[in-house]
């Protein structure tokens, strides 16, 4: 009975379509998430949420995430469905951003809300949806469609308009790149930066990297230089405006500062712990600014302590002490917690899992015969591994605090669902690529059929072997 169950398990794994390494990566990350969320939460995390509440919530989110993965994997069997959805991702993203920026609501069922004066959430019947997390995946979908359509010269709207008098310039390749690639990326980037500077900058870099990796600029040094210059100017302007904002000493800045209402937050994070300590010393004891500044630099210092105390093999599961200092360590500082409990070895394993996704992504790309699918896989792999590396660098204090989670491990419902959709698309496309490879293998002519004399020789050898066995 035990052997039959073991064989059934191996047969199930062997018959599992799609890239098995990506499946292993997904399951490992989910396992890390369950273990780390369970042991990283203090007994009473906040006034409203207990440790049990957070663990149960994460289990529900994991179940929903697995449903998203299986839906993409089992239901969507053709890449054309992703291609049909992709062009709508940019207008839908803008509609969601405008809904939040305008503080709109539809009755009491759907309404925009903020977290610490950052408007980035749509509340649906009490459930919070962080729209920027979904927009990341949506814009990668859109960018894959836009690059593929640009290469095929398939933008029908501008082609039709270019036939009219004085509108011929719309058919120029540079014009189409600006209208369909550069402007959508910049618009979404700037709109997200209004409420999340790091989130906007990150999605801008991911989209830029997707363009580069797709080969859009190969042999076009001037275009690469122009794109890099634009990105540098945008980043420089953001830093300059943040520096002139003068920090977060006045909460009114966050409420009434218009487009760059989060500039003070950017400046604080760029300047680092010293700025938080200075504000802590200057603020009136017991005020909101006092506790906000205390919480910020306490988190960063606790992350450093956690990394230092973890050593090579860590303290062991459930032995973290810094989780009591940073009550939400299971979100922004999950990697430092992993290093504290599982040491450098555990941290290397987690890092290796994300890096292996890059390698598998390149293999999936080579197995795809569809250009759109190739670009989409490239963008999603860059999105997942890029955010993981950014989270790790923030925890190691190599980057300013960003608030970005560790994909598929950190606590966060919308983030987990968004990355589950990304992994579901990757597995779905890898399944299509595997079918192509298997079909080509079946269509290939066998060696024995190409050489009948070899086949007859093998038959004679089998007959001779049977005769020898009978004589014995």
Chain segment 137-147, per-residue pLDDT in tens: 999 999 999 99
The reported pLDDT for the residue numbered 72 is 92
What phi and psi, each to the nearest 5 degrees, are found at residue 247? Answer: 80, -160
What phi and psi, each to the nearest 5 degrees, are found at residue 401? Answer: -60, 130
Q: How many CB atoms lie within 10 A of CB 14?
A: 8
Of 140, 138, 121, the C-alpha closest to 195 is 121
Alpha helices (H) along 249-333: 251-256, 263-271, 273-282, 288-310
- The rounded distance, in Å, linking the Cα atoms of 382 and 361 is 9
Residue 4's contacts (CB-CB under 8 Å, 6 or more residues apart) are none
The reported pLDDT for the residue numbered 423 is 95
Helix axes 80-101, 131-151, angle to 10 degrees: 130
What phi and psi, each to the nearest 5 degrees, are found at residue 121? Answer: -125, 135
Q: Is a pLDDT exceeding 80 seen at residue 151?
A: yes
The reported pLDDT for the residue numbered 332 is 78
Of 276, 132, 294, the C-alpha closest to 202 is 132
The reported pLDDT for the residue numbered 247 is 43
118: helix, strand or coil: strand
CA angle 246, 252, 258 (to 5 degrees): 80
Which whole number is the average pLDDT over 412-421? 92
Give the neighbor-by-neighbor strand order of the sheet with 110-115.
Answer: 105-106, 110-115, 118-124, 127-130
The reported pLDDT for the residue numbered 249 is 41
The reported pLDDT for the residue numbered 462 is 63
For the entire predicted model, the pTM comes to 0.80
- The rounded distance, in Å, linking the Cα atoms of 434 and 19 is 8
Q: How crowded is the C-beta side of 427, counted as CA atoms within 13 Å? A: 25
Q: What is the H or E stretch that residue 115 is in?
A: strand 110-115
The reported pLDDT for the residue numbered 296 is 64
**Band of residue 450 on the pLDDT scale cut at 50, 70, 90:** very low
Cβ–Cβ under 8 Å, residues 135 and 93: yes
- The rounded distance, in Å, linking the Cα atoms of 456 and 274 is 83
What phi and psi, each to the nearest 5 degrees, are found at residue 112? Answer: -80, 145
Cβ–Cβ under 8 Å, residues 412 and 33: no
């Amino acid at each position: 009975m035990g052997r039959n169950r073991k064989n059934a398990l191996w047969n199930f794994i062997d018959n599992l379509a799609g890239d098995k390494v990506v499946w292993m990566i997904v399951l490992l990350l989910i396992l890390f998430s369950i273990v780390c969320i369970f042991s990283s939460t203090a007994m009473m995390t906040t006034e409203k949420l207990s440790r049990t509440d957070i663990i149960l919530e994460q289990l529900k989110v994991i179940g929903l995430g697995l449903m998203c993965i299986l839906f993409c994997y089992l239901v969507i069997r053709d890449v054309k469905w992703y291609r049909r959805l992709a062009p709508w991702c940019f207008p839908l993203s803008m509609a969601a951003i405008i809904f939040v920026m305008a503080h709109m609501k539809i009755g009491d069922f759907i309404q925009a809300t903020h977290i610490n004066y950052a408007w980035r959430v749509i509340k649906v019947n009490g459930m919070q949806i962080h729209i920027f997390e979904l927009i990341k995946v949506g814009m990668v979908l859109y960018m894959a469609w836009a690059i593929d359509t640009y290469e095929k010269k398939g933008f029908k709207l501008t082609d039709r308009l270019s036939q009219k008098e004085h509108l011929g310039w719309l058919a120029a390749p540079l014009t189409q790149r600006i209208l369909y690639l550069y402007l959508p990326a910049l618009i979404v980037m700037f709109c997200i930066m209004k409420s999340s500077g790091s989130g906007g900058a990150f999605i801008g870099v991911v989209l830029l990297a997707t363009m580069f990796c797709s080969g859009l600029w190969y042999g076009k040094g001037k275009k690469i230089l122009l794109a890099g210059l634009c990105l540098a100017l945008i980043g420089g302007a953001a830093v300059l405006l943040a520096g002139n904002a003068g920090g977060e000493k006045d909460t009114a800045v966050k409420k009434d500062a218009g487009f760059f209402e989060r500039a003070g937050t950017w400046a604080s994070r760029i300047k680092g712990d010293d700025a938080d300590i200075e504000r802590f010393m200057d603020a009136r004891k017991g005020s909101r600014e006092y506790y906000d500044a205390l919480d910020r630099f306490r988190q960063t210092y606790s992350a450093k302590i956690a990394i230092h105390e973890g050593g090579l093999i860590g303290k062991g599961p459930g032995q973290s002490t810094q989780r009591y200092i940073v009550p939400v360590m299971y979100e922004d500082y999950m990697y430092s917690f992993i290093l504290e409990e599982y040491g450098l070895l555990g941290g290397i394993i987690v890092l290796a899992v994300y890096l292996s996704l890059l390698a598998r992504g390149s293999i999936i790309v080579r197995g795809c015969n569809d250009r759109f699918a190739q670009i989409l896989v490239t963008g999603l792999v860059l999105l997942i591994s890029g955010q993981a590396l950014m989270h790790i660098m923030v925890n190691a204090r190599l980057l300013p605090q960003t608030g970005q989670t560790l994909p598929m491990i950190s606590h966060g419902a919308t983030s987990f669902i968004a990355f589950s959709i990304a992994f579901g698309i990757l597995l779905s496309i890898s399944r299509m690529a595997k079918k192509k490879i298997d079909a080509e293998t079946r269509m290939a002519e066998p060696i024995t059929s190409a050489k009948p004399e070899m086949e007859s020789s093998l038959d004679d050898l089998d007959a001779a072997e049977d005769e020898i066995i009978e004589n014995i």
